[in-house]
């Protein structure tokens, strides 16, 4: 399972693999996959309905990244 967080004022978007929590304590292993740089203030992050495109509303427009499973897997293997 992939989670995305953004440090909105510095223009960085952090992508994490939060795994699949195991019951009963919902334990999981969190792995940082990659950091995306915009260098603009970010106001909002949203995934496309298909879940393969991440869009960021920034101070001067919209930025986007294609987030395929292959890209995330390659980053995780590094």
d(CA 75, CA 78): 6
pLDDT tens figures, 21-53: 888 988 888 888 888 888 888 888 888 888 789
CA dist 13 and 32 (Å) reads: 11
Residues in the chain: 78
Domain that holds residue 68: 2-77
pTM for the full predicted model: 0.73
Number of domains in the chain: 1
- Residue 11: helix, strand or coil by DSSP? coil
The pLDDT value recorded for residue 39 is 84
> Which residue matches tokens 């950091």?
35
Q: What is the per-residue pLDDT across 49-69, written as a single tens digit (0 to 9) for each?
A: 887 899 999 888 999 998 887
């Amino acid at each position: 399972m992939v989670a995305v967080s953004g440090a909105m004022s510095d223009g960085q978007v952090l992508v994490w693999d939060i795994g699949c929590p195991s019951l009963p304590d919902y334990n999981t292993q969190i792995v940082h996959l990659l950091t995306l740089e915009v260098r603009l203030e970010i106001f909002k992050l949203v995934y496309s309905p298909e879940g393969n495109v991440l869009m960021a509303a920034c101070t001067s427009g919209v930025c986007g990244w294609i987030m395929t499973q292959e890209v995330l897997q390659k980053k995780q293997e590094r």
